[in-house]
Amino acid sequence: MKKEPGVSQRYGLKRAILSLGPSGFPFESFFARVLEYYGFKTTTGNKIRGKRIIHEVDIVAIKDKKWMIECKYHNEAGTITKLHPAMYTYARFLDLGKHHFDSPWLVTNTRCSEDAIEYAKGVGLRVTAWKFPKDENLEKLIEEKKLYPITILKNLSERVLNEIYQLKIVVAKDLLDFSPSELAKKTSLNEKDAVKVLEEVKIISA
Amino acid sequence: MKKEPGVSQRYGLKRAILSLGPSGFPFESFFARVLEYYGFKTTTGNKIRGKRIIHEVDIVAIKDKKWMIECKYHNEAGTITKLHPAMYTYARFLDLGKHHFDSPWLVTNTRCSEDAIEYAKGVGLRVTAWKFPKDENLEKLIEEKKLYPITILKNLSERVLNEIYQLKIVVAKDLLDFSPSELAKKTSLNEKDAVKVLEEVKIISA
């Protein structure tokens, strides 16, 4: 019976990721943290000079090689990431030049159109989308290590979510670094509610 | 005094182009026709195979060299064409390969952001936008030869505009190939109104 809430929470993953956006928690912070759990070193919000202009690179991720990651975030369910983001991600990679990055990588919280995926294969652009590729897709990367975003937690007010995000926490599991009293001290939760929140985090992260 | 209506019509150019969209007259048909007046051979709505996918190329234009033209149309005033379309236009050009086209070209009815223009310079992407470049910008190309879109004509119902568009006419000046009686025969205009319309076209095209 103890598993029940965890299961139902996990069903809410897609919705929780969709609600990162409206809450103002950037998807790139979330995905960068997911990558860290997989052994990447990451930085977000990078500004890097290309041939003539400064590009914003959502995530720079290093593990064996250096990846230029573009995050394409949609906060409406049912949206699909089409060809254009794949093309401009590749063009940005080219403009930054081989001396900056080894490979380009497009990450999105939605599905990808078939031509976007085919194009990406052709130019060597790695794509991580919802349910694509079969392995190591966004859902699996999260589920595998239970890296649910804080927006999956129930009964948290927007105010508390924001306070947690101010602590640089966007993956729920990371809350387990705090004791209930620490969490209560750093947010507007009282200690009793902090206990409940951490209990919920333990269940979904188990 | 006879010039007056012409002048006021021409002030409406930006609005007329903006209203191509909602009326369902594609901007690419309009711009292709403008190019023909400048000696280009054009085809619109092309589907061309790239390395792994079929690309839709808005206009193929040939004059000395073969251009791959991407039309970025906005139907809201005040919108600006940013970096992404410049990047994906260039990526599409690369994917189609040098054996298909000599050069890429981005055409838009709005202004372009500075980084889009800088990027385009860097990769050799020609840009024609509203008021950019200083010469041969969209406005000048139109004004120079008075190639106003049919949507600039006053008092034409949507029905008649559609009938005219069915005749493959999107540049008002091309209506002058018809006599009033021919125009009345091919549209729901009566002959008296057809005379008025052609008179208006003559004034703005003079």
Task: Taking residues B87-104, report their average pLDDT.
Answer: 94
Percent of chain B at pLDDT exceeding 70? 95
Decide if pLDDT at A108 tops 90.
Answer: yes
Least trusted range by pLDDT, from A153-157, B37-41, B46-50, B93-97: A153-157
Task: Taking residues A46-72, report their average pLDDT.
Answer: 96
Select from B105, B119, B107 the least CA-distant residue to B74. Answer: B107
Task: Taking residues B8-33, report their average pLDDT.
Answer: 84
- Would B31 be classed as within a structural domain? yes
Collect all residues from A whose CB is shorter than 8 A from any CB in B: 50-54, 83-84, 87-88, 90-92, 94-95, 115, 118-119, 121-123
Domains held by chain A: number: 1
- Would A96 be classed as within a structural domain? yes
Beta bridge partners of B65: B63
Decide if pLDDT at B1 tops 70.
Answer: no
pLDDT at A76: 85
- Would A33 be classed as within a structural domain? yes
Please name the residue of chain A whose CA is at the shortest distance from the CA of residue B121. Answer: A52
Domain encompassing residue A135: 26-148
pLDDT at A155: 84
pLDDT at A2: 46
- Would B91 be classed as within a structural domain? yes
3-state SS track over A59-81 = EEEEECEEEEEEEECCCCCCCEE
Q: B25-76 pLDDT, tens per residue? A: 889 999 999 999 999 999 999 999 999 999 999 999 999 999 999 999 998 8
Chain A residue numbers touching B106 (CB-CB < 8 A): none
Would you place residue B9 in the very low, low, confident or very high pLDDT band (cuts 50, 70, 90)?
Answer: low
- Would B40 be classed as within a structural domain? yes
- Would B111 be classed as within a structural domain? yes
- Would A180 be classed as within a structural domain? no
3-state SS track over chain B = CCHHHHHHHHHCHHHHHHCHHHHCCCHHHHHHHHHHHCCCEEEEEEEEECCCCEEEEEEEEEECEEEEEEEECCCCCCCEECHHHHHHHHHHHHHHCCCCCCEEEEEECCEECHHHHHHHHHHCCEEEECCECCCCCHHHHHHHHCCCEHHHCCCCCHHHHHHHHHCCCCEHHHHHHCCHHHHHHHCCCCHHHHHHHHHHHHHHHC
Chain A residue numbers touching B56 (CB-CB < 8 A): none
Averaged pLDDT of chain B: 92
Task: Taking residues B14-34, report their average pLDDT.
Answer: 89
Please name the residue of chain B whose CA is at the shortest distance from the CA of residue A50. Answer: B119
Chain A residue numbers touching B53 (CB-CB < 8 A): 83, 115, 118-119, 122
Q: Do B95 and A122 touch (CB under 8 A)?
A: yes
- Would A192 be classed as within a structural domain? no
Residue A126: which CATH number?
A: 3.40.1350.10
Q: Which residue has the tokens 């568009």?
A: B165
